[in-house]
Chain A
Amino acid sequence: MNAPTSDTTERSERAGRPAATPRGPAPARRRRPADLRTWGAFALLTAPMLIGLGIFKYVAIGWSFLLSLSNAHGTIALGQWVGLDNYRQLLSDDTFRSSLGKILLFTVFIVPVTFVVSLGLALLVNRVRRGRAVVRTAFLIPTAVSYVAASLVWKMCLFNGLPAGIANMVGGWFGMDSVPWLQTTDPPLYWIVLVTLRLWLQVGFYMVLFLAGLQAIPKEIDEAAALDGATGFRKLMRITLPMLRNTSVAVLMLQFIAAFQAFDEFYNLFSSGLSGTATAPVQTPLVYLYNTSMGSQNYGLGSAGAFVLTALIVAVTLIQGRLTGFGKGEE
């Protein structure tokens, strides 16, 4: 994402201007390339952002890389160098490896489902003539709810393990026995809880994205398609989806990153007071990192985990960017 963008920046700035003239908008002729006042203004406007990102991204990552090479138990001070011990321990830890597997499973499941449902909702809402605003609000408003509040409703009310839980009650009407939704591992019923919760919270957001994309499709293309007799599913595949390509790529990317960072609902659904989440049927990498650094106070191992995860996400982002040409069409 990084390289293409800076390329385009420079290309667009070079374009149409003699190399000798200073860059920037028209008035540049009256100014020297970068006088003190220009520098001052630039520095003043960008300094807070640059310093902030510098400290909380670059310094943080650098420091924690050093920490990941240290034995840092109950301290965040550097000192006891242990080489790659933390990485060795991390990669041989079954819990960490299985958390990677689980999050991958979660991602390959939640991303397409969210994609299809939010696209479907957008197409549906786009067809609604009367009361569209009301319907759109109804689908969008769950976005206002936090994962904590949603976890509460899902855990204590909808998927409560007792016969009084809504899912069990509805099941009871059809003669099904009550089941503990979150604790049943065979079959893994907890996925139903996790997926429905995330769907409810997220689809409204992506629906709005698709709606914006749909409304940007020129009327003529639509009409031309109608003349050609393209309708229904064929039209969706041939016309609508290709026109939504940019939106789709953006949605997939956002969903992937969001899914990979899942923590809130896993923590709140499975953690129970003093006992933490050690016996939860599914742990995400972030839950693992939380337990390692906040629970066991092993900040060296936690830093190593953060580093491995960051590297994974950067790699996937770069590959996805290369494959889809994402970020190239920006200006």
Chain B
Amino acid sequence: MSAHRPQLSRRGFLGGSLLFVAGAAVGCSTSPTGGDSSGAKTTLNVWSHAYGEAGTQQALTRYAEAFTKANPDIAVKVTWTPGDYGAKLNSALLTDGAPDVFEIGDFSQAMARRGQLAALDDVYGSAKSDFSQGNLDYMTVDGKLYGVKMIDDVMMLYYRKSALAKAGINPPTTFDELAAAAKALTTKNTKGLFVGNDGLGDTPALAVLSNGGDLVTNGKVVFDSPQAAEAVAALKRLADDQSLLLGFTTDWWDPSALIQNVVPMQWCGLWAMPAIKTALGDDFGVLPWPAFKAGGSPVLRVGGWTACVNAKGKHVDAAKKFVQWLWVDQTDLQKDWSESYGFHVPPRASVAAAADKLAQGAAKETVELAAKYGKHNPNTWDSEVSTPFSAAAKKIVSGQGDAAQLLSDAAKQAQTALDKQHT
């Protein structure tokens, strides 16, 4: 480098960069949000993860507009957040621009204990008895309610009736049968079963629950029980048989693999049923994750999303009003949200009873199965508690050690994290 080069003048350099900046400023557009802010005193920032079904974002924006129409002094800005929702939400909560209302997937009591969530008992009003006791317990911390369940999501096994019939296989009722079916349905170019791109997805928890084990009971981490270790260790068989689809373009919560004929069996959710029905007609059935063995229990997972109010937000009262209006009072909108895009079970019993699309065919079957075998994660199951379990399961199925030992180590780590939730 020397000073004798043909020189780029300082003015040219600065001028060029100013042009960049100007161009960038023009390129900026306003972010797409719902609600009309003209004349409103308060603007609520509402965060939602990106639902995969077409029309969901427009629907949420429509609800927000309707709310502003009913409450002209409160505008609502919907922030649609694709990708790693948990991490994005967590760091946003530390800031001034934190959302006032947000949904969370797995409700975490730790957030309530840390003072991040506002208590919502007064939001429920007389409708409280219309919500299931299970859901209320789930969101109760030290006697107060910290969320309103928006939807119950049921997760279960889908299978292609024609593919199983062609191979002469009956729908599996034990883990052994499932593993055998997955193996039999695997050919040179297609795999038998899709549970997630990492080869695990929900299966470690399902294995534990299907063999009479549990994740957390009464504040104690118990996923290292003998029956849990036995069931998780058995998952290795799926990996060894090479009958799992891995590395697909979308993950298990998207039905593309099943629809595009890439696998005949997939763990997915009730939300995907409309898309699956459109693509496959009647050529599909639903099953719970089978009992690990005789004496175990079939299991479906019930998750869903919970509306919460940021206790440290600037507009707590307006935020509560919004949650109450949409997720408690507006039963027609709840019905629309639950059955017009993907299928979800409305948490309010009266809304669920009126949801006619859930009252027929495979959807009805799923709802009944969920009532019988559905399990939801404990509200202590946050990422610090669940990560050691997933990591241990990953090691077990890839044959890096003894299941009982790995799970016991992971349980200790998880217990430490769980104990900290109370401090």
Whether the complex brings A and B within 8 Å at their CB atoms is answered yes
Assembly CA distance A76 to B91 (angstroms): 10
- Answer whether residue B297 sits at the interface, using C-beta atoms and an 8 A cutoff: no
- Answer whether residue A5 sits at the interface, using C-beta atoms and an 8 A cutoff: no
- Answer whether residue B15 sits at the interface, using C-beta atoms and an 8 A cutoff: no
Which one of B85, B93, B198 contacts A280 once the chains associate, using CB atoms below 8 Å?
B198
What chain A residues lie within 8 Å of B215 (beta carbons)?
Answer: none
Complex contact B198–A73 (CB within 8 A) = no
What chain B residues lie within 8 Å of A281 (beta carbons)?
Answer: 394, 398
What is the chain B residue whose CB lies nearest that of A292?
B384
Complex contact A274–B84 (CB within 8 A) = yes
Complex contact A279–B105 (CB within 8 A) = no
- Answer whether residue A208 sits at the interface, using C-beta atoms and an 8 A cutoff: no
Given contacts A71-B423, A161-B246, contact A294 B94 (CB under 8 A): no
- Answer whether residue B124 sits at the interface, using C-beta atoms and an 8 A cutoff: no
What chain B residues lie within 8 Å of A296 (beta carbons)?
Answer: 382-384, 387
Given contacts A163-B189, A291-B387, contact A89 B416 (CB under 8 A): yes
Assembly CA distance A36 to B95 (angstroms): 43
Complex contact B86–A276 (CB within 8 A) = yes
- Answer whether residue A252 sits at the interface, using C-beta atoms and an 8 A cutoff: no
- Answer whether residue A278 sits at the interface, using C-beta atoms and an 8 A cutoff: yes
What chain A residues lie within 8 Å of B200 (beta carbons)?
Answer: 279
| CB 8 Å contact bits of B93-104 with A (1 = contact, 0 = none) | 110000000000
Complex contact B398–A186 (CB within 8 A) = yes
Assembly CA distance A30 to B354 (angstroms): 94
Assembly CA distance A253 to B245 (angstroms): 41
Given contacts A94-B409, A295-B90, contact A74 B111 (CB under 8 A): yes
Instruction: Give B5-56 interface residues, CB cut-off 8 Å to A.
Output: 49
Complex contact A183–B116 (CB within 8 A) = no
Assembly CA distance A156 to B247 (angstroms): 9
Complex contact B247–A275 (CB within 8 A) = no
- Answer whether residue B4 sits at the interface, using C-beta atoms and an 8 A cutoff: no
Assembly CA distance A291 to B391 (angstroms): 13
Give chain A's interface secondary structure class: loop
Given contacts A181-B247, A295-B383, contact A279 B390 (CB under 8 A): yes
State which size class the interface on B falls in. Answer: 35 or more
Complex contact B384–A273 (CB within 8 A) = no
State which size class the interface on A falls in. Answer: 35 or more
Complex contact B93–A186 (CB within 8 A) = no
Instruction: Give B365-386 interface residues, CB cut-off 8 Å to A.
Output: 382-384, 386
Complex contact A180–B247 (CB within 8 A) = yes
Complex contact B90–A294 (CB within 8 A) = yes
Assembly CA distance A95 to B251 (angstroms): 24
Complex contact A95–B93 (CB within 8 A) = no
A78 smallest CB distance to B (angstroms): 14
Complex contact A177–B188 (CB within 8 A) = yes
Which one of A76, A93, A272 contacts B197 once the chains associate, using CB atoms below 8 Å?
A272
B3 smallest CB distance to A (angstroms): 15
Complex contact A183–B247 (CB within 8 A) = yes
Instruction: Give B183-224 interface residues, CB cut-off 8 Å to A.
Output: 188-189, 196-201
Instruction: Give B336-381 interface residues, CB cut-off 8 Å to A.
Output: none
Complex contact A273–B253 (CB within 8 A) = yes
Complex contact B420–A73 (CB within 8 A) = yes
Assembly CA distance A80 to B246 (angstroms): 44
Complex contact A271–B84 (CB within 8 A) = yes
Interface residues of A (CB under 8 A from B): 71, 73-76, 80, 89, 93-95, 156, 160-163, 177-178, 180-186, 271-276, 278-281, 290-291, 294-298
Interface residues of B (CB under 8 A from A): 49, 83-87, 90-91, 93-94, 105, 110-111, 114, 116, 188-189, 196-201, 245-249, 251, 253, 262, 382-384, 386-388, 390-391, 393-394, 398-399, 409, 413, 416, 420, 423
Q: Which 9 A-B pairs have the closest CB atoms?
A: A161-B247, A180-B246, A180-B247, A183-B246, A294-B87, A279-B198, A278-B390, A296-B384, A185-B398
